Every structure is written in structure tokens, then in C-alpha cells.
Amino acid sequence: MAEALLVVEGLNTVLNTSEGTVRAVTDVSVEIGKGEIVGIVGESGCGKSMTVMSIMGLVPSPPGEVTGGRVMFDGTDLRTLSGAEMQKTRGRRIGMIFQDPMTFLNPVLTIESQISEMLRHHLNLTKAERRERVIDLLRRVRIPDPARVVASYPHQLSGGMRQRILIATAISCDPELIIADEPTTALDVTVQAQILELLKEIIHDMGSSLLLITHDLGVVAETCDRVYVMYAGKVVEEAPVDELFRTPKHPYTQGLLASILRADERRDELYALDGTVPNLVDVPVGCAFVDRCAKATAICETAGPGWTRNSDVSGVACWNYET
Amino acid sequence: MTTAPILSVESLTKTYRSGGLFSTTPPVQAVAGVSFDIAPGETLALVGESGCGKSTIGRVIMNLTDPTSGHVVFDGSDLATLDAKAALETKTHLQMIFQDPFGSLNPRKTVRQILSQPFRVAGISNWEPRVLDLLRVVGMTPPERFVNRMPHEFSGGQRQRIAIARAFALQPKLIVADECVSALDVSVRAQILKLMKRLQQETQVSYLFISHDLGVVRSMAHRVAVMYLGRLVEIGPVEQIFNAPAHPYTQALLSASPVPDPERERTKRRIILRGDIPSPSRPPSGCRFHTRCPIARPLCSEREPILEARSADHPVACHFSDLAKADAWT
Ligand SMILES: Nc1ncnc2c1ncn2[C@@H]1O[C@H](COP(=O)(O)OP(=O)(O)OP(=O)(O)O)[C@@H](O)[C@H]1O
Ligand SMILES: Nc1ncnc2c1ncn2[C@@H]1O[C@H](COP(=O)(O)OP(=O)(O)OP(=O)(O)O)[C@@H](O)[C@H]1O
Ligand code: SF4
Ligand SMILES: [Mg+2]
Ligand SMILES: [Mg+2]
């Protein structure tokens, strides 16, 4: 792996709700090297967004609380930073892209003021320099006619254009790391292809790293160098992308891959994992996947499987994983 | 086709006029002259990107909205011309499953009430055993555990099973399934699709399967109809559409659909389309795809291509489909 940029160790986050304590993130360890594109993939509610929020210090509190772990970014534990210091890091050194640009973009501000605001906050530039930079950023995310678009409001743009604006904002201060949470989920597939292509190119050009959150294994295959698979709040498998798709080790990863229908092959017999994900309020004591697992043995019911590291860049949490 | 189609959609057009009499917003031509047939026991997938008119076609077929022009012939009769009694009878054989089962199931009714409703409407009195049977059929066993509960007590996948159970209550001949698994997670999605396939094998029901997920379509459909901005651009047998797509839009759509295989993703030829989908209230002149088409020529903006048979069962609407590389995405 490349030299580490972000090292998350033993992250734990809970949400205190009226139904009980939701264990949204449990012992999550994730590492991102310089220049790498790393994916976190998993089904709805498995804790992907909460992991990101915990890394960024954005867990809503209450009901949320990060109860343990370290978030080492370029040698500093982000969890020890003050609110003001963290705010400086966000945007300046770590850029963020969300699924729904409208929650991030201010509807009453022009595109120029939105991006300028970010620049004003973090960089020491004159007004003219800022304006020039905004136009340059829009050009970099391939917005046609940037001089016109800077004056428009978010609702006047299409979903794909808004996502480009978000990318422009995220890269505005040349961050070392970009975290994108389902950046293309709301987009049509031809527009998704444009945006993923753009993201890859920009990350490559800036020499930055990307942490990409998605539920779509196709997007992972197209974009990422390495992947973490999450299930019920935990990382259950980690591997370089080729290895994960060629020789998945965890029964959940195997089941997930076997149930995806692909546009490049027709299947007459469909495969499906039985059952559903467990409720994160009372996570089973043993392996959280035990109810749905074809490989489960007695121990899986009573004890959670530890992490087996298979190499520098791959590991699995399962008592009976495929060797 | 040797057997009579269960459904024929003929030159269907639907224009939405927004606002009042003096509204300045132009009307939206959501569906523009679309025709297709579905055979008994067949699944026809309707694919295309957001706003291309898929749901509108489904809604017209279900009689939820009137067509601006054109006809829908179901099981031999034009629904618009049937008298009320005959229409009611016909409609029991025509059912719909929606993307969001939460929206389509009455939140204040129990599963027993929801599933017995079709029987009660049809005047069938001894429905309790049939309700329990339906639950078994969709894999919710033992059914006694589920009948007294309300929709909010179920997961998304279970709610979709209940919606499917209701659709299958009275021997449907055609089910319009509009993005019926799009809101579900991969593992639950696979369960529902497996169920739908099994039910089709057992009952010979036909599906109009509306979906934007080409992976799902390839394994579910027998034939595929591809739409762009209200127009059908290509229709044909599933393996022909996927192995030898003839329309440049179909090719781009296929090339843009990521497959869970990194090696393939690195080597496949990728067609990245320019720009966004134009507004359906101001569709481009000539071929509606010409503003984004990688092989467009001057003729394309001048004259609209008609849907012409390349081979007997695979018509395409493109002036230059001979030039479009069929192997584009492999
Ligand atoms: N504000 C909240 N209050 C209570 N529970 C929450 C809250 N936010 C998230 N959760 C719960 O925390 C768990 C993890 O949620 P998270 O949003 O991280 O999932 P996710 O993997 O991002 O899912 P998705 O793919 O749907 O975005 C879920 O079980 C969710 O229901
Ligand atoms: N009731 C309505 N009034 C006005 N315009 C409408 C109405 N319903 C749909 N439209 C418009 O008609 C066009 C086709 O919409 P439709 O819902 O059929 O598309 P779709 O292919 O199902 O899209 P999606 O994949 O997003 O569901 C869109 O431009 C839409 O905005
Ligand atoms: S630990 Fe046991 S139950 Fe869990 S995935 Fe492995 S074999 Fe299955
Ligand atoms: Mg999320
Ligand atoms: Mg629709």
C-alpha cells in the first residue's frame, strides 16, 4: 500500500434512541493511502454514512456519540482537535461530496457565492483571484459556459450539474482527501458514468486520495483500488478490488456477489441470500451474519469472529472463511 | 407471434399540459407514439433514463390516466370502450406493483384486510384460507404470524411481498411492475426477483417490467424496449439487445452500466455521453437523441428516424445504426 494518509482504528459510534442504543459503527478500522481510491460498500443501514460522519466529526449529538477509536489524518488524531481546528481541516484538507447536493447547496446563493465562501474561509485570496478560481474550478469539472453558470442558482441546474458543483466545491482548496458518500446514487446511469470518470481523473491529477461510500458493487469495480465490506456496523472483509471480486472470502461478500444480476450475463436461475440484516439495537452476540450464513457452525452463535489478516491489504472477520 | 398478445399498446401518446389555460410552460410530451405487444407468459422490460416516459406508459395501461391519443388493448378488448361491469372484470386480471410498497398499502389496514379486499370485491366469501395461501406463496410462513400485522411492522422487502401477494390474488394475466425492486437492497432485491420469476413459471403471468437497472433486466426479461425522451428507440429479444444493441443510445446505456467485475471495467469500451438529458417539454428536433449522440450527422437534427425493423423482431429508430458499433460495450 502507498504511504498512509488516513488511518482509522477501532472506531465505535452509537446512537441513543428511544428504542435503545443503535450500534451504528463497531470497531471499524480503515486505512487510505496517498493517491488511493478506497471504497466502503454495504447494504442500507450498515453504518457507512455514520463511519464517514464519525471520521469528519459530524455525528449529530444527541443522539449520536463516538465512544472510541482513533482517526489519524496525516499523523494527527482528528478526534483530539478542537471544533475550530476541525472546521479548518474540513474543506481545506478534506473535501466532502454528498448524495443529495441540495442538502449542501444553499438555495438562495449563486453558484459563485457558494464556492467563493469556501475559498474565503480557507484561503487568503483577493476577490478577483477568488472569482478567477471559481471559474477555473467549474472548467475543471467540465461545466459548459462557466461564466454564465456562476451566476445561476442551484435549482436552475440539473442533478448532474449540481453534483459537478459539489465536486468543484470539494476540490476548491486542493484537499489531500476527498470523502464522497453515494455521490452518484441519485443520478441516471449515463450521468453517473460522467461523474465517476470526472472524479477519478480529478483525484489522479491532484494526487489526492478518495474514500468512496457506495452500496453499488458495480461502482466499486469501476472506481476503487481497495474495498472494505461492511455488515451490521462492522467491517467484515477488506481486499484489493480484483481480489475481492475474484476470490471473496467472507460468506456475506460471496452471497452478495452471487445475488447481483449483471448486465453482461443472463442468469436463468437466480440466487438470493435468505433473511434480512439484523436490527442494530440488539446485535447478536456472535457473528451478526449467523442467521443468514450457510457456513455457520456452533461457535458463530456464541462468539464474534475476530479479524484475520491475510496480507497487508486483505483481511476477513469470519470463523469459517474461504481459505 | 403465434399466440394473441395479452397486451397491445398502439401509437400511445401522452401529453401533460401544466398550469392553467394561460400557462406559459410548454406541454410535456411524456410519451410520443409508442407501440408494443406483450405475449402471455412474457416479460417485456421497459428501460431508459429518468423522465423518458416509462411510468406514464404504465399508468395509461392501468387506466390511472387517459392517453392523449392511441389505444391500449388488454386481453382482446380496448379498456377505454368497455362498459363499467366488463371493465371491472377485466381489471382483476391487470395488476400493478409499485416501487414504494409503503405508498401502495393502506397503513391503517391489517395484512388480512389488505389481502382479502380483492376477494371481497369479487364476491368471494370464504377468503380466509386463500389469504393464508397467498402469504405462503410469497414466502411469509407461517402465515398466521403475519395476517394481523400492519404494513409499518414490516421491512421494505416484506412489504413488497405483501404487494405481490395482493397482485396475485385473482389470477392476474398481466402485472405492471414499476421499479418494484429499486428501493430494495441487493440481497432483498434478489429474493423478490426470484419470487417473481417463480410465480411467472407457475402461473404464466406476463410482466411489463419497468426498470432502469440493466443488470436486473437482463435476467428478468424476454424482450426489452428502450426509451429515450418519450420515444421507443429500439425493441427486441433480450439477448439481441444486450449482445448486439443497434441504437447508439442503447449502446451508451449499456456501456455506462457498471458491472461488478473490475477486470471488465478496465477493458470495456466506454461511451461517455455529452451533457444531460434535454427537457421533454422542448425535445430536440429530428432524432431526439442527436444532441448527445456520438455518431450524429446533419440529417439527424433535420429528420426524425422511424422505428424500422433491422430484423423481423428487432426494430430500431436510427438513421445510421449501421455505423453504430454493435460491440461497443464488450
Ligand atoms: N439520527 C439517527 N437516529 C437514530 N438512528 C440512526 C440515525 N442515523 C442513522 N441511524 C441508524 O444507524 C445505522 C447506520 O446508519 P448509516 O446512515 O450509517 O447507514 P448507511 O450504511 O449509510 O445506509 P444507507 O446506505 O441507507 O445510506 C442505521 O441502522 C440507522 O438506522
Ligand atoms: N402528472 C404530470 N404532470 C406533468 N408532467 C408529468 C406528470 N407525470 C410525469 N410528467 C413528466 O412526464 C415525463 C415522463 O415522466 P415519467 O414519470 O413517465 O418518467 P419515467 O421514465 O417513469 O422516469 P423515472 O425513471 O424518473 O421514474 C417527465 O418529464 C415528467 O416530468
Ligand atoms: S463467522 Fe460464522 S456465521 Fe459469521 S460469516 Fe463466518 S461462518 Fe458465517
Ligand atoms: Mg448512507
Ligand atoms: Mg417512473
Q: b/e string for B8-23 if b means 16 or more Cβ within 10 A?
A: bbbebbbbeeeeeeee
Nearest to B260 among A255, A260, A270 (CB): A260
Give the predicted TM-score (pTM) of the model: 0.92
Q: What's the CA gap between A183 and A160, in Å, rounded?
A: 10
ipTM: 0.89
Average model confidence (pLDDT) for chain B? Answer: 91
Give CA separation, B93 vs A51, A197, B63, B174, in Å.
Answer: 48, 46, 13, 7
- Average pLDDT on B81-98 reads 87
Chain A environment of B220 (Cβ under 8 Å): 261
DSSP string, B75-87: TTEEGGGS-HHHH
Mean pLDDT score, B279-303: 93
| CA–centroid distance for A227 within its chain | 10
Please determine, for residue B1, whether its predicted confidence score (pLDDT) is greater than 70. Answer: no
How many CB contacts within 8 angstroms connect chain A with chain B? Answer: 135
pLDDT band at residue B82 using 50, 70 and 90 as cut-offs: confident
Q: Å from A58 to nearest chain B CA?
A: 26
Q: What average pLDDT is seen over chain A?
A: 94
Average pLDDT of the residues in A262-276? 92
Smallest Cα distance from B313 to chain A, Å: 20
Residue B24 has pLDDT above 80, yes or no: no
Please tell me the distance from the alpha carbon of residue A86 to that of residue B253, in angstroms, as a whole number.
Answer: 42
DSSP string, B300-321: HHHSPPP-EEEETTEEE--TTT
Rounded CA-CA distance B225/B44 in Å is 7
Q: Do B186 and A197 touch (CB under 8 A)?
A: no
Average pLDDT for residues A153-174, to the nearest whole number? 92
Distance CA B61, CA B84 (A): 16
A218 contacts B258? CB cut-off 8 A:
yes
Cβ atoms of A317 and A234 closer than 8 Å: yes
Does the beta carbon of A293 sit less than 6 angstroms from any atom of ligand 3? yes
Give the contacts of B271 (CB within 8 A, at least 6 positions apart).
B248, B251, B252, B255, B256, B294, B328, B329
Instruction: Give the per-residue pLDDT at B315.
Output: 95
- List the grid coordinates of A305: 469472529
Identify the helix (H) or strand (E) that includes residue A8. Answer: strand A4-17
Q: By alpha-carbon position, which residue is closest to atom 4 of ligand 3?
A: A287
Q: How far is A64 from A24, CA to CA, in rounded Å? A: 9
Higher pLDDT, B46 or A121: B46
**What pLDDT, on a 0 to 100 scale, did the predictor assign at position A158?**
85
- Residue scoring higher pLDDT (B91 or B14): B14
Q: B3 exposed, middle or buried (CB, 10 Å; 0-12, 13-18, 19+)?
A: exposed
In this predicted structure, the answer to whether residue B328 has a pLDDT above a threshold of 80 is no
User: Which residue's alpha carbon is nearest to atom 6 within ligand 3?
Assistant: A318
3 state SS of A7: strand
What pLDDT score was predicted for residue A19?
Answer: 85
Instruction: Calculate how far, in angstroms, residue B311's C-alpha sits from the geometric centre of ligand 2.
Output: 31
| Cβ–Cβ < 8 Å for A56, A229 | no
Task: For residue A130, give the C-alpha cell.
Answer: 477568488
Domain annotation for chain B: domains and CATH numbers: 7-19+26-221 (3.40.50.300), 245-330 (no CATH)
- B195 to each of A272, B137, B191, B208, how far by Cα in Å? 10, 9, 6, 16
Q: Where are the domains of chain A?
A: 4-93+175-316
The contacts found for B151-157 with CB under 8 angstroms, 24 or more apart, are: B151/B101, B151/B102, B151/B105, B151/B106, B151/B107, B151/B109, B151/B111, B151/B114, B152/B102, B152/B107, B155/A276, B155/B188, B156/B101, B156/B102, B156/B183, B156/B184, B156/B185, B156/B188, B157/A276, B157/B184, B157/B185, B157/B188, B157/B191, B157/B192
Closest CA to B36 of B69, B61, B55: B61
Q: How far is the CA of B53 from the centre of ligand 5 (A)?
A: 7
Nine-digit cell string for A216: 453499488
Average pLDDT, stretch A81-98? Answer: 93
B175-231 pLDDT, tens digit each: 999 999 988 888 889 999 999 999 999 999 999 999 999 999 999 999 999 999 999
User: What one-character-per-residue DSSP string does B242-307 give?
Assistant: HHS--SHHHHHHHHHS--S-HHHHHHS------S-PPPTTSPPSSSTTTTT-TT--HHHHHSPPP-
Residue B28 Cα to chain centre, angstroms:
20
Question: pLDDT category, A282, cuts 50, 70, 90?
Answer: confident
Beta bridge partners of B95: B175
Peptide bond before residue B142 is cis, with ω within 30 degrees of 0: yes
In this prediction, residues A230-245 reach a mean pLDDT of 98
State the CB neighbour count (10 A cutoff) for residue B282.
Answer: 10
* CATH class held by domain A4-93+175-316: alpha beta
Instruction: In whole angstroms, give the CA distance from residue A99 to residue A90.
Output: 18
CA dist., res. A64 & res. A15, Å (int): 4
If you write DSSP's letter for every residue of A171-213 in order, what string do you get? Answer: TTT--SEEEEESTTTTS-HHHHHHHHHHHHHHHHHHT-EEEEE
Residues A8 and A71: beta-carbon distance below 8 Å: yes
Return the pLDDT at B113: 96
Q: What DSSP line would sit under B11-33, residue for residue?
A: EEEEEEPPSSTT--SPPEEEEEE
Residue B128 has pLDDT above 90, yes or no: yes
Residue given cell 491475510 in the structure block = A310
For residue B298, the cross-strand partners are none
Q: In what order do the strands lie in the sheet with A20-33?
A: A20-33, A4-17, A64-73, A76-77
Q: Ligand 4: distance of its center to the CA of A43 in Å?
A: 9
The arithmetic mean of pLDDT across residues A189-195, rounded, is 91
Statement: residue A39 has pLDDT above 70: yes
Q: How many CB atoms lie within 10 A of CB B248?
A: 29
Please report, for residues A182, B133, B150, B160, B162, the alpha-carbon distance to residue B157 in angstroms, rounded to integers and kept in the order given.
22, 19, 14, 5, 9
Contacts of B215 in chain A (CB under 8 A): 218, 260-263
Asked whether A209 and A32 are in contact (CB, 8 A), the reply is yes
Selecting from A44, A191, A263 the residue whose C-beta is nearest the C-beta of B218 gives: A263
Q: What's the pLDDT at B325?
A: 67
Kind of pairing between the strands at B223-228 and B43-47? parallel
> In angstroms, what CA-CA distances link A305 with A84, A111, A237, A255, B53?
39, 49, 12, 18, 49
DSSP H or E segment with residue B194 = helix B186-203
- Cα Rg of chain B (Å, integer): 21
Q: Which of A189, A242, A260 lies nearest to residue B186, judging by beta carbons?
A: A260
Specify the pLDDT at position B54. Answer: 96
Pocket test for ligand 1, best of A11, A16, A22 (most atoms within 8 A of CB): A22
Please report which confidence band the pLDDT of residue A306 belongs to, taking 50, 70 and 90 as the band edges. Answer: very high
User: How far is Cα B63 from Cα B59, in angstroms, rounded to an integer?
Assistant: 6
- Answer whether residue B22 shows pLDDT above 80: no
| Nearest-angstrom CA–CA distance, B115 and B106 | 11
Give the residue with greater pLDDT, B91 vs A167. Answer: A167
pLDDT digits (tens, 9 = 90+) for A97-139: 988 888 889 999 999 999 999 999 999 999 999 999 999 999 9
User: Rounded to 5 degrees, what are φ and ψ at B132?
Assistant: -65, -40
Q: Identify the pLDDT of residue B85.
A: 84
Q: Tell which atom from ligand 3 comes closest to the C-alpha of A299.
A: 2
